[in-house]
Amino acid sequence: MVDYLPATVALDDIFLDPNNFRFRDPGSGIQVAESRFTEVSVQEAALSKIVSDGVTEVKRSISENGFVPVERIVVRPLKVEARSEDEDSSSPIPAGVSRYVVVEGNRRTAALKLLRNEHASGAALKSSVLDVFETVPVLVASEASEDDLLAIMGIRHVGGPKEWGGYQSALLVYQLIEDSDLDARQVASRLGLTVQEVNRRHRAFSALTQMAEDSEYGELVTPDLYAIFHEVVGQPKLRDWLGWDSSKYELTDENTRPQLYFWLTGDADAPRKISGYGDIRDLKLIIENPDALSAMQDDDQSLADALAIVKSEAKATKWLPNAKAALASLRDMSLETIENLDEDDLQILKSLREKSGSVLRAASAARDADEDPASD
């Protein structure tokens, strides 16, 4: 059972997590050893990554309004507590001081560290902000397992009010199922999601992971592709087309799978054809139409070209109700309306007569050919 102990901790004793889920990218399995968390270079790299993710608004709010601890930063004890004599002397923490790693609140912690750096360079800050550098309000998560720590982040960033991007959220779901041996119902309960949504994110991330492990396309995988795979696994017809194996969580069709990868990435000679999850809904229509699918597989034609074939044929199938509506409209025309027809109106009627006559002649010829034994 996790205990959350309210406390105040000096900012110097709080370390950003260099393995934060915000920093995870496909194919980047490198994890920083906890024994190196206190190194200046490691912390500077983590701070730089968080800054690139956006902390300007948080920093401005703290500078103008002070640090309002509506939600305390959640930390856990650093597993390597005391610094040995041969440890890197550049570590800012003196030996014997309790140190903590941020579990939830990396952006707020980063904002505080940036403000402290600016103050050291001469920037003026309110006394209430300066005071918090020595007494940051935190909740210390003690006796927390790895699963507990993942759940803490998930509550806030997967089903909660401060959601991560789709890739990071799905990564957490995937890790809880694959590495922590939890089932979908248990993960759903911990993260505040439905079981259906947990299963879909697990399937989508599994499919993305499969692409990341592909020898030809793996290095081209980026986090933005997750949203596309989330849509792919949500379409039963596409799952069937790609040979989705629900027991292995893999796309098994050796022909359609690399075709999808190519459409997602393109190459020097052909641009990518699928750039967003909305395109997947169009692809579902395209694979059901052989002519449209052939166009999609042609390097010189785009998804829009293939979709135009689908829409054209769909429009053509609506001729009968449209013809019936036109006939009913003609039958209901009053004598006054007929007498007031202008030249444009008459031309439309003539075109309608000519086209219907042409269709009738073509249909009659086709029927005669079917009935003529000599045609066999």
CB atoms within 10 A of CB 134: 12
pLDDT at 160: 43
pLDDT number for residue 280: 94
> For residue 61, is pLDDT > 80?
yes
- Spatial separation of the C-alpha atoms in residues 275 and 228, rounded to whole Å: 8
**Same domain? 264 vs 324:** no
CB within 8 Å of 37: residues ≥ 6 apart: 15, 17, 18, 43, 78, 80, 101
Task: With beta carbons less than 8 A apart as the criterion, state whether 280 and 232 touch.
Answer: yes
34 and 61 in one domain?
yes
Give dist(CA 119, CA 128) in Å, integer. Answer: 13
| Domain end call among 282, 316, 350 | 316
Of residues 163 and 218, more confidently modeled: 218
**Has residue 286 been placed in a domain?**
yes
Q: Are residue 20 and residue 133 in the same domain, yes or no?
A: yes
Tell me whether residue 173 is in a domain: no
Per-residue pLDDT, averaged over 62-80, amounts to: 80
Question: Is it the case that residue 189 has pLDDT exceeding 70?
Answer: yes
Task: Say if residue 135 is in the same domain as residue 20.
Answer: yes
pLDDT for the residue numbered 170: 86
Of the listed ranges 52-56, 161-165, 179-183, 307-311, the least confidently predicted one is 161-165
Residue 132, pLDDT > 70, answer yes
Q: Which residue has the higher pLDDT, 193 or 263?
A: 263
Q: Domain tally for the chain?
A: 3
Lowest-confidence region among 38-47, 148-157, 175-184 = 148-157
Above 80 in pLDDT, residue 236? yes
CA dihedral 268, 274, 277, 278 (to 10 degrees): 140
Pairing verdict, β 136-142 and 3-9? antiparallel
Average pLDDT for 4-13: 88
Domain shared by 308 and 356, yes or no: no
- Least confident piece of the model among 27-41, 68-82, 86-100, 219-233: 86-100
Whether 117 is covered by a domain: the verdict is yes
Indicate if 274 and 332 belong to the same structural domain: no
**Residue-number span of the structural domain to which 335 is assigned:** 319-362
Instruction: List strands edge to edge, sheet with 136-142.
Output: 3-9, 136-142, 73-77, 100-104, 14-15
pLDDT at 279: 93
Residue 88 inside a domain? The answer is: yes
Rounded alpha-carbon distances, angstroms, from residue 264 to 269, 283, 297 = 14, 12, 13
pTM surpassing 0.85? Answer: no
Question: Are residues 253 and 331 both part of a single domain?
Answer: no
Nearest CA among 207, 297, 204, 205 for reference residue 252: 207
Per the domain annotation, does 188 fall within a domain? no
**Quick one: average pLDDT of 63-87?**
71
Same domain, 222 and 350: no
Tell me the residue type at 212: A
The mean pLDDT value for 108-120 works out to: 91
Residue 369, pLDDT score: 73
Residues 327, 345 within the same domain: yes
Q: Are residues 99 and 70 in the same domain?
A: yes
Least confident of 108-117, 141-150, 254-263: 141-150
Is residue 186 one of the residues assigned to a domain? no
Q: Are residue 53 and residue 130 in the same domain, yes or no?
A: yes
Tell me what the mean pLDDT of segment 169-188 comes to. 86
Mean pLDDT (the chain) is 83
Whether residues 14 and 133 fall in one domain: yes
8 Å CB contact between 37 and 78: yes
**160 belongs to a structural domain:** no
